[in-house]
């Protein structure tokens, strides 16, 4: 199946040059706020890529739940494929892409488990049924049917119906992705895109900015 005729033009001005703040965290916040206005509840979707100790990659879409100068946070089941990959190899890659804005952010990071306190706090901020679903889903394990999963959910719902507060499951929690490199991509006319990379200066907390050819 040839797709040669599928083509999108980016940008509008040939000589327009992207200029960004000194801090990648400030740039991320500015771009994310812009995306949130347009995409609303989908702005925080990003592709998280992990790999086994042998280097076999795996990617999936997850939801960003916090961001500051310490890093990016997301939550998952600690028995999932992504969690097992991170245990073997904490180096991960993140990809945000907002097509209408013609913007992309790539982040190389190292994953660390969030504290139980932070994970438990967020768990109890989730809707009650989402908390119950976390108990029902043994993420990435094979099941016979959707009916089996629904039954598990209903069983836990019955089990917890008298509890005002759903118990926190020890197998569920968050990760902090500590950035080691950022790349900000802005679509440009005739595929002459802007690519700005931030890398940590050796022995310093400050970041160095450089431009890449598209």
* 83 and 138, same domain (yes or no): no
* 112 and 192, same domain (yes or no): yes
Model pLDDT, residue 16: 80
* 94 and 111, same domain (yes or no): yes
Rounded CA Rg of the chain = 20
* 70 and 163, same domain (yes or no): no
* 79 and 51, same domain (yes or no): yes
d(CA 38, CA 18): 21
pTM metric for this prediction:
0.92
* 58 and 118, same domain (yes or no): yes
d(CA 199, CA 208): 5
- CA 145 to the chain's CA centroid: 28
* 39 and 62, same domain (yes or no): yes
Residue 19 lies in a domain: no
Residue 173 near residue 114, CB atoms below 8 Å: yes
Mark whether 191 is an active-site residue. Answer: yes
* 116 and 53, same domain (yes or no): yes
d(CA 157, CA 69): 38
Model pLDDT, residue 5: 82
Instruction: Note down the domain range covering 131.
Output: 127-167
DSSP string computed for 48-74: EEEE-TT--EEEEEEE--EEETTEEEE
Cα→Cα distances 48→6, 61, 96, 144, 160, Å:
26, 6, 9, 27, 32
User: What is the percentage of the chain residues whose pLDDT exceeds 90?
Assistant: 84
* 40 and 98, same domain (yes or no): yes
- Specify the length of the chain in residues: 214
* 81 and 179, same domain (yes or no): yes
- CA 31 to the chain's CA centroid: 15
Which of 60, 128, 191, 211 does the annotation list as catalytic?
A: 191
Residue 110: which CATH number?
2.30.110.10
Residue 6 lies in a domain: no
d(CA 20, CA 22): 7
User: What is the percentage of the chain residues whose pLDDT exceeds 70?
Assistant: 100
Residue 12 lies in a domain: no
d(CA 184, CA 31): 9
d(CA 97, CA 47): 9
Q: DSSP 3-state assignment of 175? A: strand
Structure confidence by residue, pLDDT tens digits, 5-35? 888 888 777 778 889 999 999 999 999 999 9
- Predicted confidence band of residue 4 (pLDDT cuts 50, 70, 90): confident
In eight-state DSSP terms, residue 166 is P
Count: domains in the chain: 2
Structure confidence by residue, pLDDT tens digits, 105-161? 999 999 999 999 999 999 999 999 999 999 999 887 888 899 999 999 999 999 999
d(CA 87, CA 76): 13
Model pLDDT, residue 9: 83
* 183 and 159, same domain (yes or no): no
């Amino acid at each position: 199946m040839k797709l040669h005729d599928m083509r999108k033009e980016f940008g509008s001005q040939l000589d327009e040059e992207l200029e960004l703040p000194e801090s990648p965290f400030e740039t991320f916040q500015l771009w994310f706020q812009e995306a949130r206005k347009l995409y609303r509840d989908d702005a925080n979707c990003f592709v998280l890529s992990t790999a086994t100790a042998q280097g076999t990659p795996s990617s999936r879409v997850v939801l960003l739940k916090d961001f500051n100068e310490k890093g990016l946070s997301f939550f998952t089941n600690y028995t999932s494929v992504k969690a097992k990959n991170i245990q073997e190899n904490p180096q991960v890659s993140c990809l945000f892409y907002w097509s209408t804005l013609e913007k992309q952010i790539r982040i190389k990071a190292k994953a660390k488990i969030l504290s139980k306190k932070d994970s438990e706090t967020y768990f109890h901020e989730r809707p009650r049924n989402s908390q119950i679903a976390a108990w029902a889903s043994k993420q990435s394990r094979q099941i016979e049917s959707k009916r089996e999963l629904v039954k598990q959910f209903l069983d836990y719902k019955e089990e917890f119906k008298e509890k005002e507060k759903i118990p926190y499951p020890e197998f569920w929690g968050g990760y902090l992705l500590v950035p080691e490199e950022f790349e900000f991509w802005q679509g440009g006319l005739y595929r002459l895109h802007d690519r700005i990379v931030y890398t940590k200066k050796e022995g310093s907390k400050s970041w160095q900015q450089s431009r890449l050819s598209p």
